[in-house]
Amino acid sequence: MEGESRKIQFTGRSTYVVSLPKGWVTDLGLSQGDQVVLVRRGAKALEIHPPGDAAPARREEAVVEIGQDEDESAIIRKVISLYIVGFGSISLRPRSGRLSPSQRDAVKGAVRRMLMGAEITSDSSSGMTVQVLVGLLELSIGGAFRRMVHLAKSMSGDALLALAEGNRALAEGVILADDEVDRFGFYIIRQLAIAIRSEHVLAEMGLKGAGDCLGYRIAVKNVERTGDHAAYIARDMLEHGRPLRGGVLERLREMNEFCLGSLDAACLALFKEDHAGAEQIISETAGISAYEERVHEASGSLDAGQTYLVRRTSENIRRISEYASDIAEIVLNLNIEKALKRPG
């Protein structure tokens, strides 16, 4: 981040002053007599905001009244929404009477499973407080997104392994891991919601503008859906119970590797802002139909139950290639200027 060194001066009895570079002032359209806003960020940072850019990066406290008969899932949705839009503290209070044990247990479970950096700091029948303790830049958006992609890919591989072995414990682990993928997703969306309210925070996160935020938001949703489809495969295995083996399993694994490779390439193109690479990914993902055909041919001798399981599994795997193509299209949209012919 570009910076200039300035000496702090003491004036009067209780005031310190520091000068601003002239170029910065004129670039922002400021002049003598204009007011700016000073903001302290933690123990080690100060910010100076021009008029119109003084919104705090993080909202402080939200208080929500909960009805005695309010459904637990509705309460969880409220907590997640307030976390995503950037509140640092979320207080739940009974509209009348008290919070029920089931309501409190549901909130505690959701916070533990889904909300990164959030802790229950107060819990009683008269109210609960969820405090978000994670710092704004402790885990970068890029770092969280990479972990999210790695976890979703691991889930997909483990789901097929569970299917090959008839391994119920492994399948159950895949289903539980879906909450962890969502946890990274909610964290990234929260950071994006905070960043979009402040040009300074956008720059700190390495984002160029609102377009980058929208692009990452759509990419996160596609990776979340990749994890969802791995969980669907694991649930089908638990329901049908019979493992898949032989040629059809190998064809499914080949199909899965192709799709996960496309997803990897699309995410790399997003990080590198690679317009040409994104075009290639979109073209290559059209090859998924050949993998589907090989799976269909290998399943010809199976009974009706296993044929149904193969068809559902291949459909869940195919969706990953669609998500890879969607992410590649985001890269195209964000970097279309790189495809324009330069004047002259």
Structure confidence by residue, pLDDT tens digits, 133-184: 865 556 788 889 999 999 999 999 999 999 999 999 999 999 999 999 999 9
**Domain 141-335 is in which class?**
mainly alpha
Whole-angstrom distance, CA of residue 4 vs CA of residue 247: 65
Other Cβ atoms less than 10 A from the Cβ of 103: the count is 23
Structure confidence by residue, pLDDT tens digits, 245-287: 789 999 999 999 999 999 999 999 998 989 999 999 999 999 9
Q: Output the pLDDT for position 98.
A: 93
Q: Output the pLDDT for position 257.
A: 97
On whether the CB atoms of residues 258 and 325 are closer than 8 A, the answer is no
The architecture (CATH level 2) of 59-132 comes to 2-Layer Sandwich (3.30)
On whether the CB atoms of residues 267 and 219 are closer than 8 A, the answer is yes
Q: Output the pLDDT for position 31.
A: 74
Whole-angstrom distance, CA of residue 66 vs CA of residue 127: 9
Q: Output the pLDDT for position 136.
A: 52
Percent of the chain with pLDDT over 70: 88
Tell me how far apart the 2 most distant CA atoms of the chain are, in Å.
Answer: 91
- List, for the chain, all residue ranges whose pLDDT scores fall below the cut of 70: 1-3, 12-14, 27-29, 39-45, 49-59, 134-138, 200, 338-344
Per the structure block, which two tokens stand in for 87? 């509140």
Whole-angstrom distance, CA of residue 110 vs CA of residue 229: 21
Whole-angstrom distance, CA of residue 302 vs CA of residue 248: 9
